[in-house]
Amino acid sequence: MRKRRRMRVNIMAKLVLSSLVLIALLHLCGGYKILVVFPLAGKSHHILGAGYVKHLLEAGHEVTYATPFPSNKTTDKYHEVDLSKNIEFYNKQTSKMLNLRAIINKETNIDVLAVIPDFVKMIKSMMESDKLVNFLSDPTQEFDAVIVEWLFTDVFAGIASLYNCPLIWSSSVEAHWIVLQLIHEPSNPSFNANVLSTTIPPFTFFERVANLLTMAAIKTIKYFYLQPRETAIYEEFFTPLFAKRGRQLPPYEEVVYNGTFMLTNSHSSLSQPISVPPNVKEIGGYHIDPNTKPLPANLQKIMDEAKHGVIYFSMGTNAKSKDWPESLKKDFLEVFGGLKQTVLWKFEEQLPNLPKNVHILEWAPQQSILAHPNMRLFITHGGLLSTTETVYFGVPTIVMPYGADQRVNALRAVNKGYAKMVELSYEMAGEMKVAIEEMLSNTKYSEKAKELSKLYHDRVVHPGKELVHWVEHVVRSHGALHLRSPALLLPWYQKMYLDLLALILVALYVIKVVLKLLFRKLSFKVPITEKKTN
């Protein structure tokens, strides 16, 4: 009897022990299940998405990445949803909008209004992607959080609602007013540049008015044109998906304004300080590997031996060398050939009559190049990733913006004092030469770049760590409701006290009417009393 009891106790103890071990093991290799959705087929967007994936995987989470650029290197912790179908449409769109040749030829004054219908088509085609629909159709799939890149559409918010889990927005730039209104309220246009702005604060009177009008125009287009179409797309695609899970489709507005957190690819050292609620955090630079990879041997040698320093020239991933006019290629080579410095030119074609100090790189490990101590000057298009890397490594720049947010990045860089801007044109080579000479002879630009780099690095924690922390925080707190902005609870007219204004106007009107009545009564009485005295 006693023996049997002891045996039972023994078995119990073993059971408890093994389940403890199991729990501990689960805890160790558990992590959260996170879905990262970056549907836009731009290389720079993919770099940002891959940054999330890398940091979350390193922190031990299980990550699914919906991307147009799958690596096909999945593991039991890393899965992919292949959205490569989105590339075609994106390339068609951007070849219109981000066309170097057309900009140099001054052919593109992109008519934003004309682009919007195409944009709606693009959203629809991204949602229609069969691989995405298949993936979302699996009712057994669950996630702890969904991270969605916001780019001019809110439709993808529906994915988080489908999984009934917190939605984290990723903004590829700073928290400008359009994204900020999703989890707080639009920022004040009198001192905040809008995302495609060509001016920076402090604004002149006219710039300030223009900024307000732009805001009003975007709001109007969004409200009357985009939102009804987005709602239709949302209803069309998500109704059957929710039905598969036995659920009713929640209203679009409820889904879109349900985001719990926003991580922004920005930092005050390179953009402008913006006041945001506590559920918005800047993690600009998280895509940069703190352990810079070594340069390939030949490039290392070239850079080590450049005793007058190195100039690196790259126009980013969208600008193709075939779009450069022949005459400009020749002019650039002439300018570069006349310099003492070694020039690394990222270009997809080899050029004839290459001067000895100029090297063409079809592929360039940009971060490793910028990190080299002989690096003197970076000639760039001013994309945000390049700008961030510039500040990270403290390299002065000449910026030649040609589209998207590049101009505002360039203006900010010039304004902060580490850059010069050169406009794209057939005659630009001469101007570029002057700018290069000025930047190499005047140390103020590189000093400023170094100073900003110090500001950039002076943080509590690496932005990648911060990214992981906030994602985990959102999951642990079941959607970080304690950080939710109360501004979302109020309609706009209450925030602007228009109800008070209405009340005051009504009160004034009532007072006026009452006074009038009183006055009329008095004036009736007056003649009578007058008569009496007469």
Ligand X SMILES: *[C@@H]1O[C@H](CO)[C@@H](O)[C@H](O)[C@H]1NC(C)=O
Closer to ligand X by CB, 138 or 253: give it: 253
Closer to ligand X by CB, 234 or 445: give it: 234
DSSP state string for 1-45 = -HHHHHHHHHHHHHHHHHHHHHHHHHHHHH--EEEEE-----HHH
The size of the chain, in residues, is 534
Closer to ligand X by CB, 270 or 467: give it: 467
Closer to ligand X by CB, 478 or 512: give it: 478
Residues binding ligand X: what is the number (CB under 6 A)?
10
Q: Would you state the torsion angle of the CA atoms of residues 322, 323, 326, 330, taken in this order, to the nearest 10 degrees?
A: -90
Closer to ligand X by CB, 166 or 186: give it: 166
Q: Which of these segments, 117-125, 232-240, 247-255, 262-270, binds ligand X (CB under 6 A)?
A: 247-255
279 near ligand X, judged by CB under 6 A:
no
Q: Which of these segments, 47-55, 99-107, 193-201, 255-263, binds ligand X (CB under 6 A)?
A: 255-263
Are 488 and 180 a contacting pair, CB within 8 Å? Answer: no
Site for ligand X in 75-114 (CB under 6 A): none
At residue 123, the 3 state secondary structure works out as helix
Query: Tokens in use for 126?
Result: 């991204």
Q: How far apart are CA 30 and CA 143, in angstroms?
A: 13
3-state SS of 192-259 is CCCCCCCCCCCCCHHHHHHHHHHHHHHHHHHHHHHHHHHHHHHHHHHHHHHHHCCCCCCCHHHHHCCC
**Residue with the two structure tokens 């999703």:** 182
Q: How far is the CB of 236 from ligand X (least distance, A)?
A: 18
Q: How far is the CB of 157 from ligand X (least distance, A)?
A: 7
Site for ligand X in 339-398 (CB under 6 A): none
Q: Which of these segments, 35-43, 164-172, 224-232, 489-497, binds ligand X (CB under 6 A)?
A: 164-172
258 near ligand X, judged by CB under 6 A:
yes
Nearest to 371 by CA among 439, 444, 296, 293: 293
Q: Which of these segments, 117-125, 172-180, 251-259, 393-401, binds ligand X (CB under 6 A)?
A: 251-259
Query: Tokens in use for 214?
Result: 């732009």
Closer to ligand X by CB, 252 or 393: give it: 252
Query: Tokens in use for 459?
Result: 């943080």
Q: How far is the CB of 127 from ligand X (least distance, A)?
A: 17
Q: Which of these segments, 160-168, 268-276, 313-321, 371-379, binds ligand X (CB under 6 A)?
A: 160-168
Closer to ligand X by CB, 258 or 357: give it: 258
Out of 70, 201, 250, 309, the residue judged to bind ligand X by CB under 6 A: 250
Query: Tokens in use for 16?
Result: 């408890």
Closer to ligand X by CB, 255 or 333: give it: 255
260 near ligand X, judged by CB under 6 A:
yes
Closer to ligand X by CB, 64 or 260: give it: 260
Closer to ligand X by CB, 100 or 480: give it: 480
Query: Tokens in use for 437?
Result: 């000479």
Contacts of residue 141, defined as CB under 8 A and 6 or more positions apart, other chains included, come to 135, 163
Strands 280-282 and 261-264, sheet pairing: parallel
Q: Which of these segments, 249-257, 290-298, 301-309, 328-336, binds ligand X (CB under 6 A)?
A: 249-257
Closer to ligand X by CB, 35 or 371: give it: 35
472-479 CB contacts, 8 Å cutoff, 24+ apart: 472/32, 472/59, 474/145, 474/166, 474/168, 474/260, 474/261, 475/32, 475/34, 475/144, 475/145, 475/166, 478/166, 479/166, 479/260
254 near ligand X, judged by CB under 6 A:
yes
Q: Residues 166-195 vs ligand X: string with x where CB under 6 A?
A: x-----------------------------
Nearest to 470 by CA among 24, 34, 23, 27: 34
161 near ligand X, judged by CB under 6 A:
yes
Q: Which of these segments, 221-229, 250-258, 270-278, 280-288, binds ligand X (CB under 6 A)?
A: 250-258
Contacts of residue 420, defined as CB under 8 A and 6 or more positions apart, other chains included, come to 397, 398, 399, 414, 435, 438, 439, 445
Nearest to 225 by CA among 113, 90, 93, 89: 113
Q: How far is the CB of 258 from ligand X (least distance, A)?
A: 4
- Nearest residue to ligand X by CB is 479
Closer to ligand X by CB, 161 or 342: give it: 161
255 near ligand X, judged by CB under 6 A:
yes
Based on its alpha-carbon atoms, the radius of gyration of the chain, rounded to whole angstroms, reads 30
Q: Residues 472-491 vs ligand X: string with x where CB under 6 A?
A: -------x------------
Nearest to 56 by CA among 127, 143, 131, 139: 143
Where on the chain is the footprint of ligand X (CB under 6 A)?
Answer: 161, 164-166, 250, 254-255, 258, 260, 479
